[in-house]
């Protein structure tokens, strides 16, 4: 009888525990996404560039240069870079963006892949120390003031420096560049149906987690002040 009662209690309690834990993880993701967006804005305010716009040119001399992954049309001055997006390659591949006139500007976006070394420019810029995975230098040229913008994993290792959500996935970070424009980004599924459509001012930076991986669902969890 005791075993039977305990079994019934567990059947009642366990779903509640799972629900409470899931809600706690979502709150954590929202808080961390907010911290990431705020870190990007603080960096832009401090240095005049968004994290990811600059890369180290000469580690020994501590010099930097503009990221050469910039789209060619932007690099040549033909068109303006609408925004920078950092995230998982699957997300970047699905990303479509349009300007306020409805023109497709997806190809103009500077996309930083978190699986690529260049993608880690975002977190290398936030690091308070220089790279210690190869020839060390006394300070980080991407953050010469040594400001702690964000609590990072593996800080100082340019190949491993990271900031992951509660489900061990990379956050997606949008950083706008043109203060008087608006872009609309779209995420589509395999059937080419729009899952998310959201318009944002390029004046802001915002971040979100892709959420728990559930079959056929998009569980985006946004930073504060942003709704899908």
Which run of H or of E encompasses 56?
A: strand 54-58
Backbone angles phi, psi at 170, to 5 degrees: -75, 145
Report the distance separating Cα 116 and Cα 88, nearest Å. Answer: 10
Report the distance separating Cα 177 and Cα 217, nearest Å. Answer: 31
How would you list the strands of the sheet with 194-201, edge to edge? Answer: 95-99, 182-188, 194-201
Backbone angles phi, psi at 73, to 5 degrees: -65, -35
Tens digits of pLDDT across the chain (228 residues) = 667 666 665 666 666 666 778 889 999 999 999 999 999 999 999 999 999 999 888 877 778 898 888 888 888 888 888 889 999 888 888 888 888 788 888 888 899 988 776 668 899 999 998 877 666 666 889 999 999 999 999 888 888 889 999 999 999 999 987 766 677 888 776 667 777 777 777 668 899 998 887 655 667 898 988 766
This prediction has a pTM of 0.85
Q: Which two tokens stand for residue 74?
A: 């932007």
Q: Which two tokens stand for residue 66?
A: 């503009």
């Amino acid at each position: 009888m005791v075993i039977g009662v305990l079994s019934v209690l567990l059947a009642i309690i366990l779903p509640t525990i799972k629900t409470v834990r899931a809600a706690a993880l979502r709150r954590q993701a929202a808080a961390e996404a907010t911290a990431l967006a705020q870190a990007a804005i603080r960096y832009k305010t401090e240095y005049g560039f968004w994290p990811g716009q600059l890369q180290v040119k000469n580690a020994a001399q501590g010099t930097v240069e503009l990221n050469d992954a910039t789209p060619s049309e932007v690099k040549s001055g033909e068109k303006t870079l609408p925004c920078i997006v950092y995230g998982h390659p699957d997300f970047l591949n699905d990303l479509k963006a349009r300007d306020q006139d409805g023109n497709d500007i997806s190809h103009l976006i500077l996309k930083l892949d978190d699986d690529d070394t260049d993608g880690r420019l975002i977190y290398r810029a936030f690091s308070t120390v220089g790279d210690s995975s190869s020839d060390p230098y006394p300070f980080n040229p991407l953050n010469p003031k040594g400001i702690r913008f964000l609590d990072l994993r593996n800080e100082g290792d340019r190949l491993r420096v990271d900031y992951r959500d509660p489900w061990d996935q990379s956050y997606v970070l949008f950083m706008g560049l043109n203060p008087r424009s608006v872009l609309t980004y779209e995420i589509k599924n395999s059937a080419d149906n729009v899952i998310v459509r959201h318009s944002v001012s390029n004046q802001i930076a915002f971040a979100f987690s892709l959420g728990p991986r559930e079959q056929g669902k998009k569980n985006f969890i946004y930073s504060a002040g942003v709704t899908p």
